Amino acid sequence: MNLNRDTIKKIMGLIAFAILLYVGLQNTKMVSSALRYLAGLTAPFLIGGCIAFILNVPMRFFEKKIFTQKKGKGSIRMRKMQRIFSLLLTLIVVLGVISIVLFMVAPELYNSFAAIGREMTSFGKRLPQMLEQASERLPMFADEIEKFKADLLNVNWKEVGQMAKDFLQNSNFLSSTVDIATSVVSGVANTIIGLVFAIYILLQKENLGRQFRRLFYALFPEKHVDRFLEVCDLTSSSFNSFLSGQCLEAFILGMMFFISMTLLKMPYALVIAVLIGVTALIPIFGAFIGCIVGAFLILIASPIQALWFIVLFLILQQVEGNVIYPRVVGGSVGLPSIWVLVAVTLGASIAGVLGILFSIPVVSVLYALLRDYVRDRIHERGIAEKKIQ
pLDDT score of 308 more than 80: yes
One-letter amino acid identity for 48?
G
Report the Cα 9 to chain-centroid distance in Å. Answer: 43
One-letter amino acid identity for 299?
L
Q: What does the pLDDT average to over 260-284?
A: 82
- Please say whether the beta carbons of 320 and 256 come within 8 A: yes
- Please say whether the beta carbons of 253 and 316 come within 8 A: yes
pLDDT of residue 22: 77
- Please say whether the beta carbons of 79 and 70 come within 8 A: no
353 Cβ contact list (under 8 Å, min separation 6): 282
The Cα–Cα gap between 367 and 361 comes to 10
pLDDT tens, residue by residue, 28-76 = 777 777 777 777 778 788 888 888 888 888 888 888 777 665 554 456 7
- φ, ψ of residue 372 to 5 degrees: the values are -65, -40
Share of the chain above pLDDT 70, in %: 76
* pTM beyond 0.85: no
pLDDT of residue 73: 46
- φ, ψ of residue 72 to 5 degrees: the values are 120, -160
The Cα–Cα gap between 317 and 322 comes to 8
Tell me which of 354 and 210 has the higher pLDDT: 210
pLDDT tens, residue by residue, 77-114 = 777 788 888 888 988 988 887 887 778 777 776 776 67
pLDDT tens, residue by residue, 157-177 = 566 666 666 665 565 555 555
The Cα–Cα gap between 9 and 100 comes to 59
What region does 352 belong to: left with phi over 0, alpha with psi -120 to 50, or beta? Answer: left
Per-residue pLDDT band at 295 (split at 50, 70, 90): confident
Tell me which of 247 and 112 has the higher pLDDT: 247
The Cα–Cα gap between 76 and 83 comes to 11
Average pLDDT in the chain? 76
pLDDT of residue 245: 79
